[in-house]
Each structure stands twice: as structure tokens, then as C-alpha cells.
Chains A and B, each alone.
Chain A
Amino acid sequence: MTGAADVLPGSFRDPAGFVFRRQGVLLRQVNEIHRRHFDLLTSSGLYDALTQASLLIPHEVVDDEPAAAGAYRVIRPQPVGFVSYPYEWCFSQLRDAALATLRIQSMALDHGMTLRDASAFNIQFDGGRPVLIDTLSFESLVEGRPWIAYRQFCQHFLAPLALMSYRDARLGLLLREHLDGVPLDLAAQLLPRGAKLRPPLLLHVFSHAKSQRKHAADEAPAVESGRASKFSMQAFRGLLDSLRAGIEGLSLPGGFSEWRNYYDEATHYSDRASNHKEELVDACIAEVSPEIVWDLGANVGRFSGLATARGIRTVAFDVDPACVDEAYRRAGSANETRLLPLVLDLANPSPAIGWANRERMTVAERGPADLVLALALVHHLAIGNNVPLESLAAFLAQIGRHVAIEFVPKEDEKVQRLLMNREDVFPAYSVEGFERSLSGHFDVLRKLPIDDSPRTLYLLRAR
């Protein structure tokens, strides 16, 4: 294939190659300087071992024209359904990504190779499981050399996981501020002293941070060729085992969750209303027949389940990390491969960040979805966060080709509770005002009152 190539803005750091898109197809250029390592990945058997274990994204070598000079090969990696970022993952997702990285590194050592980076951004969730997407992360092992990616692994995985486990699940958002992982000195300051009781944390976070400070200006001494090495394979295995034990020893974050017991404690829906709503949402999904659904404010994924039951890939966004964690663990135990739960605050969705604000995409840039579910959500944004209905409609039209949205009127008990302690400054918040706001952006395909409830479900098509 020839034609114009768009290099992905986040793919510029590694001289070994880069990712580009040509005529909508995602390709990766492998540069000549990485030839030896790329060939070894296949000839050592590591590629087969990792792809069979679903730990590495499979690729095909293609004869497409390279996008720049210095190319050795062009490969076409199998595309991932939805690109997510570590700051959108819950604790269990980040933990599974960390354990997958350690397993990959361990298998690489078995094949005489090693990971040359351990960025959490190199992991994506595909089919519900963490998989390495950077085929160029491997290089041949230099015996006696410690793990080049050790610092990155500790910053991208161990430190944020320890903070989430010991302090609060919301600290996963530190990865949004620190794109190369949470600095270890910061983690050491924020962790409670009790964390030092765990030897892996004492070693890989606290003492590691001290060593970084102490040797910041030093050069790591190089060995002369042929001399006995200092970092044995046994030490390398010990390091990986200690990191694994440290991560496996971290318990799920406890603490505050506003939403986890939402359905158990719900009194605003009778069984009849609840069942009817489910029927209506299911009918909307059937009518649109989407390939991908985004469920906004998904809680633990009850309505996402209607889409996944139909075999549809579904991203379930929620602001509460505890809900996302529960949805992820439930999906794992039910072997549900089509669900991807993610942490997202709709009032402040994932922005474009990194170099030139182009390395990591906004949520909207990763869409539009074929169908967006916005159930029991409008009042939280329009009243809880004062978002004008017109602005809400414009945003939804940007991220979804179709939207199934539930309007919750003022007389509903949930809205009454939001207005309990504040002035009602929302004169436009009514069925009429809502429909007026939609009219500039959507065609209303269905207007479906929910039985035994003041709420109405709308199925919309973006113009």
C-alpha cells in the first residue's frame, strides 16, 4: 500500500521505529537499527510464546511502503478495539497490566531477550485482558546488565498501585499528571510509614527513591567487555519475583465509594419501572445494532451488560473507581471479553496531554461510538454540575452517532435530592427545554416513557 502516511503523534520517542496510519490502516515501521532485535523476537520463539499466551499483540509483516527513511520492515499489528490510558484504569486493571508486564519480561529472559521499556502506555486491554502493543519493546539480553526499564516499571506500576492500595483509589489519576509514572520520591512521601513493613515496597519504592536521589548526578559505571558481570540472571529473576510479590501483596483499595451500592440501595425505581427501562434500552440497542457502545455513568455495568450480551464491544465509563473495579472483576470472572470498564469524570473527561498536547487523545478523539448510553445521567451533569442542556447535547452529538438518553424531570426524587440544599437556578430544565436543546443536534427516533416512573428514554440520531 502506498499513499500519505500520518505518524501517530505519541510515537516519536523510540528510534527503533514508530506507528503510522495510511488509508485508515495502522502500521508500524521497524527501523534498520532495530533489525537484530526484531529478528531475534521471532527466531528465539519469544513472539510465538507471547502471542500464544495473548500477552503480545500479533502482527503481520507486510510489504507496504515505509513512512520514512531507515526502514527495515513494515508490520501491521492487529488493531485494538478501544485505546485506553493507565489514568483511566482502576486498581485491578493497573495491577493486571503490571503482572502481565512482569510475565512478559520473565518470558523474554527465558528467550535471551529483555524489555527495554516498561511503560504502562504500552499495555492495552484487548478482549478484557492486558496485552503488550509495542512489538519493538524487546532487545537481546546483555548479560550482567540490570533491567533498563526498572525505574519505569516502578514509576508506572508499583508506585501508583501502592498509593491506590494504601491511600485512595483516586490516586491513580496521578498518572495523568505524571506521564512517565509517579516519581518515587513523591510516592515515598505520600505512602504511610506502614508501607515500609512490606519488603518489596521498602526496597523498590523507599530505598530505590533514596538511591535515585543519592546517585542523581552519577554515571552508572560501565563494564569492560569480557569481565565478570555483577547482575546475575538469578538476581534478575529475584528482582522480578520481588516486584511480583510486592504487587500481588497489595490489597484492593478500600474506603469511600459513593456509587458502588447504587442499585442495592435504589428506591427511585420500582421493579416494574426498572424492568421496563431495561426492555426499552435493549430495544434501542437492537434498533441501532452498533459495533461499539459507550455507556456513560455505567456504574458496575448493568446496562452495558445488555450490549455485551448481544456480542457488542462496550466501554463502560464511570467516575467511581470502586464501581469500575467491580465491573472489571465481574467481567473477568464471567469471562466477559467484550466489556472494558474505565474511570472517567464526564465533568472533566480525559484531555489531550503529553508533548504538544498531542501524545494522548481526548475521549472524544477516540470516538464517535455507534451508540452512547446516557442513563440516569442528565441531572447529574445539568444540575449537579450546572452544565447547560444545549452544551450537553452538543457534546453527546460529538461522541455518539446515536444516543439513548434518559431524561430525569425535576419532580423525580433524585433531582429533588440534588436541589435540596441549593437554589433552583435551572428554569430551562424541563422536558420542553430538554427537547429544544436536542433539536439543534439530533433527530429524535423514539420517545419512550418509562412505566411507573416520571422518566423518559429518548433514542437520538446525531445529524
Chain B
Amino acid sequence: MRTRSKVLYAAVFCLAFSAVILPSANAYIDPGSGSMIFQAVVGGLLAVAIVLKTFWRRIVSFFRRGRTADET
């Protein structure tokens, strides 16, 4: 488990970041530099994930619709 999480963490870091560039934050709470950098690092991954998820949902709903049509 521990190895797996280390590998994933390292992979995500290597993938995403050569230069993390963020607009400056004028926040009244401390957003936390680790938290801001982390989002920029995993942002690409999460963007891909939601695109795939949306795509997958469309496929599933297409077939579901097909099946419901057959049944009726």
C-alpha cells in the first residue's frame, strides 16, 4: 500500500509540474502553499478523469436507453 501510494504520488508529481504557475492569491484565509501547488500538480489528472467519466456516463446512458427501448 505504502509503496503504491509513493509511486502514484511521484508519478503525479513527475507528470504535471515542470513549472507550476499560479495567479497570485489575494486570500484572507491562508490557502496553504502546499495545497495550492498540489492542486496545480493534480489538476491535469483530475481534468482528464472528469472528461473520461463524462464520456463513460454517456456511453452507459446510451446503452441503458437502448435497453429500455427494447424492453418497452
Contacts and interface: CB of A to CB of B under 8 A. Distances in A.
A144 B24 CA distance: 10
A208 B21 contact: no
Nearest to A194: B1
Interface string A137-162: 00000111111111110100000000
A422 B51 CA distance: 64
A207 interface: yes
Contacts of B24: 222-223
B47 A235 contact: yes
B23 A145 contact: yes
B53 interface: yes
Interface in B1-60: 1-2, 4-5, 8-9, 12, 19-25, 27-51, 53
Contacts of A237: 47, 50
A41 to B, nearest CB: 17
A34 to B, nearest CB: 10
Contacts of A206: 5
A208 B35 contact: yes
B21 A238 contact: no
Interface residues of B, number: 40
A148 B25 contact: yes
Contact of A222 (B9, B23, B37): B23
Nearest to B50: A238
A211 B23 contact: no
A154 B31 CA distance: 11
Interface in A234-253: 234-239, 241-242
A230 B33 contact: no
A146 B43 contact: yes
Interface stretch (A10-18, A90-98, A372-380): A10-18
Interface of B: 1-2, 4-5, 8-9, 12, 19-25, 27-51, 53
Nearest 10 A/B pairs, CB to CB = A238-B46, A235-B43, A212-B34, A146-B39, A222-B24, A151-B35, A211-B38, A234-B47, A238-B50, A215-B34
Given A222-B22, A232-B43, 4 more contacts: A146-B40, A150-B31, A212-B32, A242-B46
25 contacts: A15-B28, A142-B23, A145-B22, A146-B35, A146-B39, A149-B31, A151-B34, A207-B8, A207-B12, A207-B42, A212-B35, A216-B33, A218-B34, A218-B37, A220-B36, A227-B21, A229-B21, A231-B40, A232-B43, A232-B47, A238-B46, A238-B48, A238-B50, A238-B51, A241-B53
